[in-house]
Structures are given as structure tokens and as C-alpha cells.
Structure 1
Amino acid sequence: MNAFAPINMTDALRAEAAIEPDPVVQGDPEVAPKKETQIIAIYGKGGIGKSFTLANLSYMMAQQGKKVLLIGCDPKSDTTSLLFGGKACPTIIETSARMKAAGAEIAIGDVCFKRDGVFAMELGGPEVGRGCGGRGIIHGFELLEKLGFHEWGFDFVLLDFLGDVVCGGFGLPIARDMCQKVIVVASNDLQSLYVANNVCSAVEYFRKLGGNVGVAGMVINKDDYTGEAQAFAETAGIPVLAAIPADEDIRRKSANYEIIGTPGNRWASVFEDLAANVAEAPPVRPKPLTQDGLLNLFSADAVGRGVTLVPATMEDMCGTSDVTKPTLEVIYDTV
């Protein structure tokens, strides 16, 4: 075989997809995170406001005297953008690759930054079409292990995960018991609640396999008070930790990269209550809804349940009358 022959992209992608994820180093039990450290994974649909919620929550926790680490686990690497006033944070994966190429060792100061008591970092991920985001997450946590993740002394470690993606890397905290509890961020719309329900299903699935992670509750963002998210939480058996209203002042300040979770701010009480509830809420075993149960939270006008599924015919597919051709199969008489 010619060593310089071009690689077939389809074959290359299939080969990558077939690679099993490397196991995450669990670390020495003697230096595992202290029991008083709460590691919390936050999931939600892309664009639902996880980064907004986490930036303000982590800032409020720090103002209350807590030592908080915020880790962005979204390939978009936008978790910390609000916290740092719109500035991009160098990602662990990109920084590690660059320093490895230069023959240098990565240090914590290269990837972890702080503002007003909040420590924050981004795992990062591959460019579009150039790799698996889930494997990027796994690789990022391997690097965190090498940087001494199990030895860090924080009160809270908040992990921001994209809930739309269901591959193994994004389910890592649930599947590997890397966190104690999960929080879902959703709104009063079907798609965000669909994602929240999927996360609850994942938690329940791994609980049946012997896992220990539970759901601490839901944050309702952009709440317009139509009640669907509240109804979902009640049906799934999880508490609502906070309801952040759909308010123009919040939208405008968030768009301008302004933290509103500060003591004395107009919205301070929302994030003060959220901080207290996040800290105290126990992980519970959720009761995921069926697809019909999820749809029943909405009016028929909202989800179109009056639609009937009409089976297609071969004539529909071909645009001509369907002519049944005689089979060439030989059928033998049975004795």
C-alpha cells in the first residue's frame, strides 16, 4: 500500500467512531475530592441559558464566601464568557496541544483563571467535522486528572454540560459517578423539557446499574409563567430550585456580558435563593416521563396532537402506479 495515498474521509470517520473511549483515570482514593466538596453537573438544551445561570450562580456563591470552580464542558467554550465580560478563556485541550508541540508542560495557571473569587476554566473541543466532542470531554478530564483535580479544595465544582448530545462523553459525570448530583435548566417549551427528560432518563438508567448520581432539581429560565416546566418537575418528582423570569432587563444585561447575581442587585434574591437551594437540595431519583406524558404537558395547539400519521404507499414514492412484479423466488412444497 502506498504510504502517501489519500485517506478516504468516510473510512477515517468510521474508524474514529468505532474507537471506544479511553477509561478516565479515577485517581487514588486517598486523594479523592473531599466529601464536603459538592461536584454538580448542570445540563440543558443548547441556548437555554446554562452559561448565564452558572455564571451568575457561581458569582453569587463566591460573594457568599464559598470557594467555587466553574468548568465549561461545552465544545462552544462559552461557559465562562459572561463571567469574564465577553473575553474568551483559553481552553484546556487547545492549550495542552500547543504546549505539547512546543515541548512544554501545561500548568494550572495556563488554563484556570479567576474573577472576584470564582475560579473558571474551559475544556474545549474539536472544530466542527474534525473530531468527536464526547471524546474531547473525556480527554479534557484526563488532563484535569493530571493537573491534580482530586486534590483541589473547593466547596463547589460546577460542570456545564450540553444536554442535547447523548454520546458517552457528555454523560461522563452520570455514568462514572464523577458528580454527586445533577441540575437541569429548562424553560416552558417542549424541546428544553425533552432534553431535561432525557437527562432524567440517563440518571435513572445508571441508577439501575448501581450508580449513585441523582437529580437535585430544575432551574426554570426565561419563565413566562405558562407552567409547563413546573408541571414537568412535579411529574418527574424533582424540585424547582429557582424560576428566573423572562425579563427584558435580564436579557439586555446578559447580552452585554453583565453579571446580575451580585448582592444588592435587583435580581440578587433570585440567585441568593438559587445558591442556597443548590447547596442544600439532596440528589433524588427522578421519574422520567414517556413521550406521550411529555406531550400531555402542552395544549394540543402547541404540539399538534390532532395530526394523524398516514402511511405512504409505493405509488407515492415512485410517482407512478404500483405494479406488483412476480417473484422469482422458488417455493418448494413442504412434506
Structure 2
Amino acid sequence: MNAIIDVAGQPEGKSQTQIIAIYGKGGIGKSFTLANLSYMMAQQGKRILLIGCDPKSDTTSLLFGGRSCPTIIETSSKKKLAGEVVSIGDVCFMRDGVFAMELGGPEVGRGCGGRGIIHGFELLEKLGFHQWAFDYVLLDFLGDVVCGGFGLPIARDMCQKVIVVGSNDLQSLYVANNVCSAVDYFRKLGGNVGVAGLVINKDDGTGEAEAFAAAVGIPVLAAIPADEDIRRKSANYEIVGRPGGRWAPLFEALGEQVASAPPLRPNPLTHETLLGLFKGETVGRGVTLTPATESDMCGSAVLTRPSLEVHYEGA
């Protein structure tokens, strides 16, 4: 799998592609961030490929005004049954200079999402990934899931750097810390992937995400405010990262940061240290873990029953 995104092996004369994996808790705003970031970078003259690697297949929906595009895995299955070959036009679609596609995944209960990711990248290779000429390839990965497929970019050096998206809440920073732990673990094994930084989405100014970034040793690349204008437009599948628009400076600056931020080795936090970033009343510190007993489990006194074990003479 290393060869799938081996940018060092690109054809002579082709500029090196920056491949960046974006991780975060489900629903934290990765797709929103990526849609607007990729759109802005394309308007700045960059060649951008956005690949959704979430089984929900919703990375590109905002980019395409709410429309879903056919996924690589589903299209490949249909074409195979029909005896046909998948072409680029079947799975890759464009809007205002952004190229975008969805890997897809299995239906609920019908397969492994991580295995689907692996299969999707195998299909990308068959479609000629090595020959594609992009300045940036942005990969949208679900950070909640820890199985192998979702960790491919980090474990197999398939990208140069990782960006985490989080907010000022414990669960999203817990996921961000897990991603930092994975990067640190594979760096110990000789890997090269680093964390470029944190994007704070729905920032309400309470500061926990900023404190987290400082504690693990990564920069804050952008803080997207919890603003009603952004919420409303995103709900209507509108791009807010347009040149000349109200939010243009924010996404222009984020694009520059994404391009230039170096891959760093983070210092992941222990769970207790992560909890320490929040006020006690926020995360319920002071609660004691009381061990349960057999009586508690049975709802009454435990009856001692005679053993059914058979003892043989001379045994």
C-alpha cells in the first residue's frame, strides 16, 4: 500500500504533491472545513483534489450544493457486475476548479468500513493515481474509528502531514489526542508523518482547544467562529470561503497555513491531563468510581450453591 501515494516516485519534472489527511470527530466540521478550504485554494490557482474517506460519503456534499456524487466503491461494484471498467468521469467531479471524489463504504452491517478504505485506495491506484498532477490532495478521514483502514495515511506514510479539526469540547479533543497518539506511535517506529496543526471549528472563545494545541505542541491553524451566518449558510450547502466574501480572509489564511505548516511530532496527553483542560463542573471530576459487587448485580443476596464438580477417588 505504500506505493499508492508515494509522492517521491512521481514522474520527473512533476512538482511534488502535498498529501494532507484531515482527521476529527464525526460531526465536528471536517467536511465544512475541507469544502471551503479546497474551494478557496482552487480560486488561488492551486490544483486541488478532495477525497472523502468517510463511509458516510458526505465530504463533497457541501461542495456540490447538497448533491451526492457516486462513490468509487459502489461504482466499481456496479461496473464489475456489468462487465465494464470504471473511468475517471464515473467517480471524479469538478466545481470551480476543485476535483472531488468519494471512496464510499459498505452499508450498515454488511462489511468493514476500514477494509472499504483500503479497497478504495487500491481502486485509486488502478485509476492512475501516480500520474495525476495536483498541488494538494486533501483526504477527509473519520477520527473516531481506530481500525487499520482509517489509520492508513499515518501508519503507511501515505501523506506528509495530518491536520486535526476540533472544538472546545472534551469528545472532539479526545479524538484529536488519539490522532496525535497515533502519529507519535508511528514516528517511534520510523514513520515520517507529522501533525501540521489544529483547526478549531465552532469556536466559542472558551479556550480549551487552544490550550490543548499548546499542550501537545502543535499550532492553531485557524479558529472558525461559532457564527450564525456560517451555520445558516452551511445548513443551506453554501460555500462561505469565497474570494471577496465576509469569511474570505479566514480561509485565505488557512490555505496559506495548510500549505506551509511543517509536520510536527506531537506530545499526546494522558487522559487525566486532557481532563485538566476543562473545568471540574464541565467533565464531572470529583465523581468516585465505586466497584460493584455480585449482590449489586443480582439485586439481592448471593446464594451459595453446591458445586456440581465431580470428585473421583484417587484423583
Moved over 2 A (4+): 23-36, 322-330
Aligned equivalent of 1:262 = 242
Matched, 1:46 2:29: no
What TM-score does the superposition give when structure 2 sets the normalisation length?
Answer: 0.94
The SS at the match of 2:50 is strand
How far off its partner does 1:198 sit? 0.4
Matched ranges for 1:1-335 at <5 A:
26=4, 30-31=9-10, 36-323=16-303
- Taking the aligned partners of 1:88 and 1:268, their CA distance within structure 2 comes to 25
Verify the 8 A CA contact 1:185 1:219 in the aligned structure 2: yes
What is the CA-CA distance between 1:26 and the residue it aligns to?
A: 4.1
Cα separation, 1, equivalents of 2:167 and 2:20: 20
- Structure 2 unpaired stretches of 5+: none
Task: Provide the rounded CA distance (Å) in 1 between the counterparts of 2:159 and 2:4.
Answer: 12
For 2:299 and 2:54, locate their aligned partners in 1 and report how far apart those are by CA, in whole Å.
45
1:69/1:157 contact within 8 Å kept: yes
Q: 1:73 to 1:27 in 2, by over 3 A?
A: closer
Is the contact made by 1:90 and 1:111 (CA closer than 8 Å) also made in structure 2? Answer: yes
Q: What RMSD over aligned residues (CA atoms) do the two structures have, in Å?
A: 1.8
CA shift at 1:35, angstroms? 5.9
Please tell me the residue identity of whatever aligns with 1:224.
D
Instruction: Letter of the 2:230 partner, please give it.
Output: I
Q: Is the 8 A contact 1:24 1:138 kept in 2?
A: no
Which runs of no fewer than 5 residues in structure 1 stay unpaired?
1-22, 331-335
Counterparts of 2:11 and 2:117, CA distance in 1: 20
Aligned residue pairs total: 308
Shift of residue 311, structure 1, vs aligned partner: 1.0
**1:260 partner letter:** V
Identity of aligned residues (%): 78
Q: Is the 8 A contact 2:2 2:157 kept in 1?
A: no
Distance in 1, Cα, partners of 2:81 & 2:5: 26
Deviations 1:157-199 (A, max 9, x none): 0000000000000000001100000000000000000000000
Residue 314 (structure 1) shift: 1.3
